[in-house]
């Protein structure tokens, strides 16, 4: 029996597929640019646990269906939270589960950033081990532009990748970067023409899979130790600040302005 014949779980907002020893997770809300609603939040909190225990894969790729990797928060979902900020308390729990499940995953996690990665979409991409992005993509964390604190991981991962000075520059402005600029400053690994993305991801996965499985996994565990320490230190505080900012008039006004533009 081939490895890809073992059944993967079915999700509402994610597609799972195996090819040899690679498990691919696809964010699957293409009509909404893979924006994160409650269902996608919940399923992201589960899927990395499945990936960790999947005996039929040794490497995980995450990507998006359609034009975007993930456009961040779904507008209807953001509006619902703005009108009922107590609901965000549940999302705090989910956000922690997503980030720590990604960090605890000992298999290499490769991001195939096929399009824009914004807000939580950017955070998910940046917590991956290696990022290959289409040159058409942009990445950024514009929490502040909608009156929110970048508390769900952005303020943790950006300084680890590009240093505190550059992290402040982009997180305080909410600016989106081109994939080329992101690669130049070390935020992502590679910026490629869209037609070369699959070949580059596949070639990298093949190189990793050719190595000792245990050596690769244990090296990743070692590399993630400091990042996990920093995340444990900061994530609760960041989410608490974001929950407070969710209840402020600035955020309410920003959501109203976004709805008016629709």
pLDDT of residue 262: 65
- Per-residue pLDDT of 221-254, as tens digits, reads 999 999 999 999 999 999 999 999 988 989 889 8
- Per-residue pLDDT of 122-152, as tens digits, reads 999 999 999 999 999 999 999 999 999 999 9
First to last CA, the chain: 50
The overall average pLDDT reported for the chain is: 93
Band (pLDDT 50/70/90 cuts) for residue 50 is very high
Q: Is 85 helix (H, G, I), strand (E, B) or coil?
A: helix
In whole angstroms, give the CA distance from residue 60 to residue 97.
Answer: 18
Q: Nearest Cα to 108, choosing from 216, 262, 228?
A: 216
Q: Which residues make Cβ contacts (< 8 Å) with residue 249, sequence separation at least 6?
A: none
Residue 6 has pLDDT above 50, yes or no: yes
Q: Which residues pair with 117 in a beta bridge?
A: 70, 139
Q: The pTM is what?
A: 0.94
Long-range contacts from 162-170, C-beta under 8 angstroms, 24+ separation = 162/186, 162/187, 170/140, 170/141
CA max distance for the chain? 58
Q: Is 65 helix (H, G, I), strand (E, B) or coil?
A: coil
Band (pLDDT 50/70/90 cuts) for residue 257 is confident
Mean pLDDT along residues 15-42: 96
CATH number of 3-200+209-261: 3.90.226.10
Mean pLDDT along residues 197-225: 98
Mean pLDDT along residues 49-78: 93
pLDDT of residue 2: 44
- Per-residue pLDDT of 7-24, as tens digits, reads 899 999 999 999 999 999
Q: Nearest Cα to 4, choosing from 49, 43, 50, 54?
A: 54
Q: At what angle do helices 154-162 and 213-246 cross, to 10 degrees?
A: 130
Name the burial class of residue 10, with classes exposed (0-12), middle (13-18) and buried (19+) by CB atoms within 10 angstroms of its CB: exposed
Please report where in the chains the tokens 């014949």 appear, as a residue: 5
């Amino acid at each position: 029996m081939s490895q890809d014949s073992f059944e993967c779980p079915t999700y509402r907002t994610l597609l799972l597929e195996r090819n040899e020893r690679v498990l691919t997770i696809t964010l699957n809300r293409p009509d909404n640019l893979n924006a994160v609603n409650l269902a996608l939040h919940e399923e992201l909190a589960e899927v990395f646990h499945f990936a960790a225990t999947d005996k039929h894969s040794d490497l995980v790729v995450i990507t998006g269906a359609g034009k975007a990797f993930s456009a961040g928060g779904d507008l209807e979902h953001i509006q619902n939270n703005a009108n009922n900020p107590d609901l965000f308390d549940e999302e705090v729990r989910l956000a922690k589960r997503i980030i720590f499940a990604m960090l605890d995953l000992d298999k290499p996690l490769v991001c195939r950033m096929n399009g824009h990665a914004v807000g939580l979409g950017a955070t998910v991409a940046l917590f991956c081990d290696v990022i290959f992005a289409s040159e058409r993509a942009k990445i950024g964390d514009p929490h502040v532009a909608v009156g929110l604190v970048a508390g769900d991981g952005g303020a943790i991962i950006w300084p680890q990748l590009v240093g505190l000075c550059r992290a402040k520059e982009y997180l305080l402005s909410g600016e989106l970067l081109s994939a080329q600029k992101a690669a130049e400053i070390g935020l992502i690994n590679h910026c490629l023409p869209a037609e070369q993305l699959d070949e580059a991801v596949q070639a990298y996965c093949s190189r990793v899979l050719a190595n000792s499985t245990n050596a690769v996994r244990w090296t990743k565990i070692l590399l993630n130790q400091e990042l996990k320490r920093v995340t444990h230190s900061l994530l609760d505080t960041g989410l608490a600040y974001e929950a407070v900012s969710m209840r402020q008039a600035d955020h309410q006004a920003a959501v109203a302005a976004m709805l008016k533009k629709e």
